[in-house]
Amino acid sequence: MNKQEIMSRLQNKNLDFDVIYLESVDSTNNFAKGYNNTKNLLVAAKKQTGGRGRYGKSFASPEGKGLYFTLRINMPPQNPVFFPLIAAMAVSCAVSSLCGIELDIKWPNDLLYKTDDGYKKLCGILVEASGGSASYIIVGIGVNINNDITDFPDELKNIVSSLKIISGKEYDLTGILCETVDEFMRLMYISSEELLEEYRTRLLLGVDISFAQDGTIYKGRAAGINENGNLIAKLENGEEIIIQSGEIGIL
Ligand code: BTN
């Protein structure tokens, strides 16, 4: 992968942005935050030495095995609360059309694959707002593509997977990157109603979940999303709870 190849294979020229490809970086999100230019940015790396996940977790980013990239977008047309949803949709659509593998979205933005041994995570997304006065949004996306199970740390081996582990095939990283970015650009410019309608079709609904709210752990069922992209959980007693943030577990 290199900058020229990425630029030539992107179809959607809606947004003018700098493209940077790095052999190694601590985190493409960190790089995007420190990038001293006002243009929109796509930065991808062959490996990350300090890939970051949500809630202070790390993101395993072995060299050449997965996609590790960040889009930094100035003053987005869509409401920023929809960006985690847009990113998850973009990866799920790209993987579906290029690899024929259907990944489900675990609200708000993890991508999972259903196996006989439960759901396995293939993609994580870390959306961060700009600090200070600059108004841009940082969308970091990590996808496990050509990883073997031995590429993951022991503590993750039971809960993660990759496209190669699922299908036995290796995939072209640049193709998936460019298709994801193109999908992202398409989704960024559709109405929030259309976006939520598409998102619902890929969202894991009807599954039993656990979640925490105000210090209480609840069990319920993922029942739907509202117009703000919040998850609606239905408890056993029929009560509905709106989940605006945090992580849900699949039971
Ligand atoms: C998660 O699963 O909690 C989110 C993982 C996000 C990983 C991506 S890889 C590219 C970008 N750079 C980072 O340091 N993190 C994101």
- What CATH number did the domain enclosing 242 receive? 2.30.30.100
What average pLDDT score do residues 34-51 get?
Answer: 94
135 and 236 in a single domain? The answer is no
The label of the residue with tokens 């977790």 reads 57
15 and 134, same domain (yes or no):
yes
Contact call for residues 181 and 42 (beta carbons, < 8 A): yes
Dihedral over Cα of 167, 66, 184, 211: its sign:
positive
User: Quick one: 113 and 23 in the same domain?
Assistant: yes
Judgement on whether residues 219 and 239 belong to the same structural domain of the protein: yes
Please tell me whether residues 31 and 94 are part of one structural domain: yes
Give the pLDDT confidence of 85-111 residue by residue, as tens digits.
999 999 999 999 999 999 999 999 999
Kindly report the CATH number assigned to the domain that includes residue 102. 3.30.930.10
Phi, psi of 10 (to 5 degrees): -75, 125
Residue 15 has pLDDT above 80, yes or no: no
Q: How confident is the model at residue 133 (pLDDT cuts 50, 70, 90)?
A: low
Report strand pairing: 136-144 vs 208-213: unpaired
Q: Which residue range(s) make up the domain with 166? A: 3-200
Q: Say yes or no: 85 and 186 in one domain.
A: yes
51: Cβ below 6 Å to ligand 1? yes
CA–CA distance, 75 with 79 (Å, rounded to integer): 9
Given 182, 200, 218, which residue is the final one in a domain? 200
Share of the chain above pLDDT 90, in %: 86
Mutate to test the pocket of ligand 1, among 20, 24, 27 (most ligand atoms within 8 A of CB): 27
Residue among 30, 54, 63, 126 whose CB has most ligand 1 atoms within 8 A, to mutate: 126
Protein residue whose Cα sits closest to atom 9 of ligand 1: 142
Give the residue from 159, 176, 200 where a domain finishes. Answer: 200
Mean pLDDT of the chain: 94
Domain boundary among 166, 182, 200: 200
The confidence band for 131, taking pLDDT boundaries of 50, 70 and 90, is low
Strands (E), 116-154: 118-129, 136-144
Residues 117 and 223 in one domain: no
**Cβ atoms of residues 192 and 79 within 8 Å:** yes
Q: Are residues 240 and 192 in the same domain?
A: no
Assess whether 24 and 138 both reside in one domain. Answer: yes
Question: Both 185 and 246 in a single domain?
Answer: no
Among the listed residues 164, 4, 47, 152, the one whose alpha carbon sits nearest the alpha carbon of residue 95: 164
Residue 68 beta carbon below 6 angstroms from any ligand 1 atom: yes
Q: Indicate the number of domains in the chain.
A: 2
Q: Please indicate, yes or no, whether residues 171 and 228 belong to a single structural domain of this protein.
A: no
For 10-75, where are the alpha helices, taking DSSP H only? Answer: 28-34
Share of the chain above pLDDT 70, in %: 96
Shared domain for 190 and 225, answered yes or no, is: no
